[in-house]
Structure 1
């Protein structure tokens, strides 16, 4: 009989099971394997409780298995089961399978209890890992809490630009903590001008409130961001070791928020929260990381722990709505947004969230009512007029939409999004096509890499019969955004008009893959009959 080759995926799975010491003689106890596989299945299904229970049993039965310990460690961090995370970490420590972020857990636990020796040991364990960029900043905080000069610790950042940046931000906070408010604020401002994230301002403001400098704190919180508005009421923090470690870990977690690094994001934000349970910014980051990793129930549970009086509570409510919507739970998201928008103390942020969900639910006329509230609250905000006009257009009120879009352009004549929307909407309807095309040319000049604007300009040229100028623009837009159904349909129309019939049908078929249900009949007709003369 010919030997059969085991597929790669099965070989990898077999290797994983073998690493548990699971292939045993007949009659042997195989409960670690069963528990592990059940835990993996529960993990994949998003059932964190069953996953935790399975990994706990499997690790107890096979305490030397790094395969089980790795999974148990990740699940425990995600769920906040610190005892299980510590047991799993003890198995992994010193092995080839130990993840680089393993020292973060003892670091956070030691910082939370102000354990200098434990923090020193954890920092030393971080030094040989890719997270070594944190070490100079961590040692600066340790020096500060011991009453020593933190400058020499921060200077150890050397020439590594990431370590230098983190050390500079840390020293700005430490200067405020040491009473050098003017110097600290000057450093914060200088770092803001070179691109430091919002986390630095939030941490500095909380320190200033906590050390009795409320007026100086409010200078960092200018604007109508709901978090800033709430923080201006005076949410202070003391410059403890837990505060410093938590803010530093949260700062890195924030940087990773838009990247595909879920395990590290979860580890950083969870340990930031362990180091300082009052760090609700870290709680938000943890929930977001869990949601991106598909653990929506855990993410929602993390938000449940947000105190109602937290300055981040409004942001947490908006995050909950977004998570529900991203998980396909649209009715729940819409209901929650409605509750937020109709509260007695609701404001523009709540109205915006509800209006956006109404648009997503294909209720543009209802959305327009709420966008109008935002316009009335700030009539000089061009983006509010743009959204209001967009909702009116989708609802079929073109005169009202055009007036609102014209208002957006009048307020922001150099804003490419406003120019694009009004220019395209008018050109599509054959209204003042020359002036509309000029708007689109200006929008394209302001934002040449925007595929939607590029397509809009190409379409305006196509409408006027200038296919030579239209073709390279629409082709470029389609290449940049191959899943955009509207652009693909435009490309098909263009190709059919210039006689490239096979390519036209190919483009329409591509459009049909992602087009909404309401456009499918039109595209099907085009694919069969071609572009019919108007």
Structure 2
């Protein structure tokens, strides 16, 4: 496994450098800056600073590896390659360096050069090395040896699924479609069941003049939730077209598929920064590998590198069937980087081009709702619901999201109908139960039903601070103050710095006569909100007023019902 960018090995190396003060100081600055950038996954800065440090100490192995990883994370294999070659020339082991050199050999179709390497000392890992060797054998026109190598790997514990998936791809790439289909049918491993695997099998079936089976297999895998790329494939199959096998057209494509499929597996267990290296190399070996590009963008987004993610999404050609998926991803990256208006613009343009896709309108509705543009959000959700032909799993959320927007517009009758429709589609859904129950409490209607809903939501999500807070609050609204205390205290434990939850606990404490503790909670709540904010649930002006005169006076000033008087017991 590659050493982490922010490990301590390079720091130890730095401390062991020559005692010359000028040299140490000139190296320490860029090294420490690079290390900090690496911790933040700021690859542009990391690559720049580590390169500066390496220029001042060009024989430092740790700095060489850090520089390679920084460049690979940006997809700049050409900049990483000279450093990687230097590491190997010095006989040093570095997974990052070996990955870079191997990728370059395969990109240049130097399969003999790759096969001459010693994978024990210059390899990446058993699975990747074995699969790459098999593909390199195909590149070297030794197909029988390649197929035997896939079989050998399949005997290794835990590697069978990978080996047989790649063998099926290799057989299809060699035109042996019957043998490939036999593997897809008999060895339905996890990779064969992925979107990419299902599409590859459909192409194989089409090559065998079995278009009807190909359509059935796609329908079985994706149901009605097909995206434009899948729909285009299904339409072509139903029209009687023979689809070419596009997933693998060369040994180089096969090697790219190795890095991509391993990246997909690593995504579940390894860090996104490590997985990113494999996704970048898959795209380097096959520039038209759009799935690898989308994975790269998604990983960058998960690492909070929104500018890099946005740049990656924009590389998907406008005429590619996956363009809508890339634009949806780009909108998400823009929104998360604090540019919601830019995200809305992207989605509005997308809606003009892909107006038949429910997900485009629902995503636009989500962003509009988050920007408090509720009327526009409702209009977007209306279209999404009208177009939605997917499973109940998605339909319930569309009604739930539209209900939230309608509730904010004070269109309660329509909102309640949508909340109840969402529950009809997804009974017991805790988010819906909580939101509807809480709204009923705030409106002081159907309180017994609201209590039952929120109790059910708490039973389903006992560690959700918002839902536990709702239970405490409905009990408070019902005048059952003593019962409310424990739930509100639990909610604060779950969400200790949430201003609304702390404010609610203060009100409950006041209601049971614990006035000093109530004042403490209001002060805590006040410390967690913007002092300039007014209105809303977390209203600092209201908190200050309660601290001045107490909750009873505030309720009287608001014309609200006074607190219920407890009996003497």
Change (3 A) 1:365 1:505: farther
Deviations 1:99-133, CA, capped at 9 Å, x for gaps: 5444322333334444434444678258876x445
Moved more, 118-127 or 442-451: 118-127
Change (3 A) 1:96 1:404: farther
Deviations 1:129-160, CA, capped at 9 Å, x for gaps: 6x4454454455556664233453223422xx
State the alpha-carbon separation in 2 of the partners of residues 486 and 121 from structure 1.
Answer: 66
Counterpart in the other structure of 1:107 = 102
Cα pair 1:388 1:401 within 8 Å, conserved: yes
Cα pair 1:257 1:285 within 8 Å, conserved: no
Deviations 1:40-88, CA, capped at 9 Å, x for gaps: 8999999977876776676566432334423321232133322221112
Q: CA deviation at 1:462?
A: 3.5
Counterpart in the other structure of 2:153 = 154
Deviations 1:374-432, CA, capped at 9 Å, x for gaps: 12223872221111111111222222211221222223334333333323322332221
Output the TM-score relative to the length of structure 2: 0.75
- In the TM superposition, what are the counterparts of 1:172-187 in structure 2 within 5 Å? 173=169, 178-179=176-177, 180-186=179-185
Q: CA deviation at 1:203?
A: 5.5
Structure 2 counterpart of 1:424, from 431, 438, 445: 438
Counterpart in the other structure of 1:332 = 342
Moved more, 68-77 or 467-476: 467-476
Counterpart in the other structure of 1:412 = 426
Change (3 A) 1:135 1:451: farther
State the alpha-carbon separation in 2 of the partners of residues 230 and 526 from structure 1.
Answer: 62
Structure 1 counterpart of 2:75, from 77, 80, 84: 80
Moved more, 440-449 or 92-101: 92-101
Change (3 A) 1:30 1:470: closer
Q: CA deviation at 1:341?
A: 2.5
State the alpha-carbon separation in 2 of the partners of residues 288 and 116 from structure 1.
Answer: 31
Structure 2 spans left out of the alignment, 5+ residues: 1-5, 237-242, 556-561, 563-569
Counterpart in the other structure of 1:6 = none
Change (3 A) 1:168 1:481: farther
Q: CA deviation at 1:370?
A: 0.7
Counterpart in the other structure of 1:461 = 475
Structure 1 counterpart of 2:315, from 277, 294, 305: 305
Q: CA deviation at 1:167?
A: 4.0
Q: CA deviation at 1:93?
A: 4.0
Deviations 1:470-504, CA, capped at 9 Å, x for gaps: 44444444434445444444333333333444554
Cα pair 1:138 1:245 within 8 Å, conserved: yes
Structure 1 counterpart of 2:296, from 286, 290, 305: 286
- In the TM superposition, what are the counterparts of 1:85-96 in structure 2 within 5 Å? 85-93=80-88
Change (3 A) 1:440 1:245: farther
Counterpart in the other structure of 1:400 = 414
Partner of 1:413: helix, strand, or coil?
Answer: coil
Moved more, 457-466 or 226-235: 226-235
Counterpart in the other structure of 1:377 = 387
Structure 1 spans left out of the alignment, 5+ residues: 1-8
Counterpart in the other structure of 1:277 = 287
Change (3 A) 1:442 1:42: closer
Counterpart in the other structure of 1:390 = 404
Moved more, 176-185 or 351-360: 176-185
Moved more, 385-394 or 440-449: 440-449
Partner of 1:237: helix, strand, or coil?
Answer: coil
Q: CA deviation at 1:435?
A: 2.1
Partner of 1:336: helix, strand, or coil?
Answer: helix
- In the TM superposition, what are the counterparts of 1:417-456 in structure 2 within 5 Å? 417-456=431-470
State the alpha-carbon separation in 2 of the partners of residues 244 and 154 from structure 1.
Answer: 16
Output the TM-score relative to the length of structure 1: 0.79
Moved more, 367-376 or 88-97: 88-97
Partner of 1:342: helix, strand, or coil?
Answer: helix
Moved more, 265-274 or 523-532: 523-532
Counterpart in the other structure of 1:365 = 375
Larger radius of gyration: 2
